[in-house]
Amino acid sequence: MNNNQPVHRGIILMNLGSIESTDVPSVKKYLDEFLMDAKVIDYPYLFRLLLVKGIITPKRAPRTAEAYKKIWWKEGSPLMVLTDRLRDALQSRMEEPVEIAMRYGNPHPAAAFKSLMVKDPLIEEVVVIPLYPHYAMASYETAVEYVQDIYEEKQYPFKLSVIKPFYKEPDYIHALAENIRPYLKQEFDYLLFSYHGVPERHIRKSDITHHHCLQSKDCCFTESPAHQFCYRHQVITTMKLVAEELGLPEEKYGFSFQSRLGRAEWLKPNTVDVLKELPGKGIRSLVVASLAFVADCLETLEEIGMEGKEIFMNAGGESFQLIPGLNTNDEWVNVLAKWVKEYASGNKAMLVSA
């Protein structure tokens, strides 16, 4: 690269992925790919194969297809549509070409790389922004390893850089707080931060000290190198920083973990249990923010917005409000554009690998 000239750079926004249609075969194909990822279900291959293709997907595919039908948009899966819109919104603020890629399904990272090279044949660097605020084996880690493997396999002529989890970046926290603030103007009893759950064994596997995570009740609040890769610590940190910016007293908010799969021990408390218990504690008016996702998807729109609301109201709740994700919120798009511009100007603080 010529340091005296602007670098030809491209951007890839990397998200989870989604089904292509709501028919059962399409859902089964997606679930097979997703659940066969050893970072998601970390059992030996043959056991995982039997479990996923013999038990889980045959049972879950029809049920998941029906759930998707409830939230499906005319343009397609909400997550895909919103990620497309985010790409377009970011592109409108930038000169560098922007593409999207998915960990599962399409568009494939190789297609995104190819598109960037077509848009700029002189491209020298591609910066990948995984749209996962927090580090987890089954989200950020698998996405980054996947795109890096493809990059190395194809031997692309440009440099690859990846942005680290941004769970405590001030700009991100401010964008979250401003996205939530309008929904707190009406009287409410409690703000629940519902995060996607992960098995406890994933937390222990990610503990680089091998003796910190989940070893005590206050492990997430005791300084440790393990926090760099600890999902639980990071989601609690995000919650506390957002609550602080919103000026919320501790008794007005809390956290839980949703989307449990299987019989293994997952992070607690479970969102379903919390939703059932809150009305009995005098909480009748509930606001929910699902901050593991920057784009609304099945887990927010259906699992929380529909099923979660029904659970809470049946338990005695009177008011339930799901806060939309950041999606294409102007503040959020401006944050992404700012990060890219700061990175381009020489600030590499957001860089995790190259």
> Structure tokens of 97?
């070409």
Q: Nearest CA to 326 among 184, 191, 195, 175?
A: 175
Alpha carbon distances (Å) from 126 to 7, 9, 147, 321: 10, 6, 11, 39
DSSP SS3 for 207: coil
Nearest to 10 by CA among 159, 153, 131: 159
* Burial degree of 45 (CB within 10 A; 0-12, 13-18, 19+): exposed
Per residue in 118-138, pLDDT tens?
999 999 999 999 999 999 999
Q: Residue 188's closest CA among 271, 288, 304?
A: 288
Q: Residue 1 — pLDDT band, cuts 50, 70, 90? A: very low
Q: Where are the domains of the chain?
A: 9-167+330-353, 170-322
pLDDT tens digits, residue range 189-214?
A: 999 999 999 999 999 999 999 999 99
Whether pLDDT at 3 is above 60: no
Q: What is the pLDDT of residue 350?
A: 75
β partners of residue 120: none
* DSSP notation for 160-194: EEEEPP-TT-HHHHHHHHHHHGGGGSS--SEEEEE
Q: What is the pTM of this model?
A: 0.95
Q: Pick from 232, 163, 237: which is nearest to 202 by CA?
A: 232
> How does pLDDT run across 132-157, given as a tens digit for each residue?
999 999 999 999 999 999 999 999 99
List, in order, residues 6 or more apart from 266 with CB less than 8 Å away: 197, 198, 199, 200, 257, 260
Q: Return the H-helix or E-strand segment holding 46.
A: helix 45-49
Which sign, positive or negative, has the C-alpha torsion 99, 103, 105, 108?
positive
Tokens of 341: 């511009």
**Using omega within 30 degrees of 0 as the cis cutoff, is the peptide bond preceding 44 cis?**
no
Among residues 37, 32, 28, 38, which one has the least CA distance to residue 52?
Answer: 32
Mean pLDDT of 225-233: 97
Tens digit of pLDDT for each residue in 19-52?
A: 999 999 999 999 999 999 999 999 999 999 999 9
At 271, the amino acid letter reads T
The architecture in CATH of the region 9-167+330-353 reads 3-Layer(aba) Sandwich (3.40)
User: Please, what is the average pLDDT of the chain?
Assistant: 96
For residue 83, which of 327, 282, 311 has the smallest C-alpha distance? 327
Q: Report the share of the chain in percent with pLDDT over 90.
A: 94
Q: Residue 139: what pLDDT? A: 98
Determine the angle formed by the axes of helices 78-91 and 330-344, rounding to 10 degrees.
50
- At the topology level, CATH places domain 170-322 in Rossmann fold (3.40.50)
Asked whether the domain spanning 170-322 has the same topology as the one spanning 9-167+330-353, the reply is yes
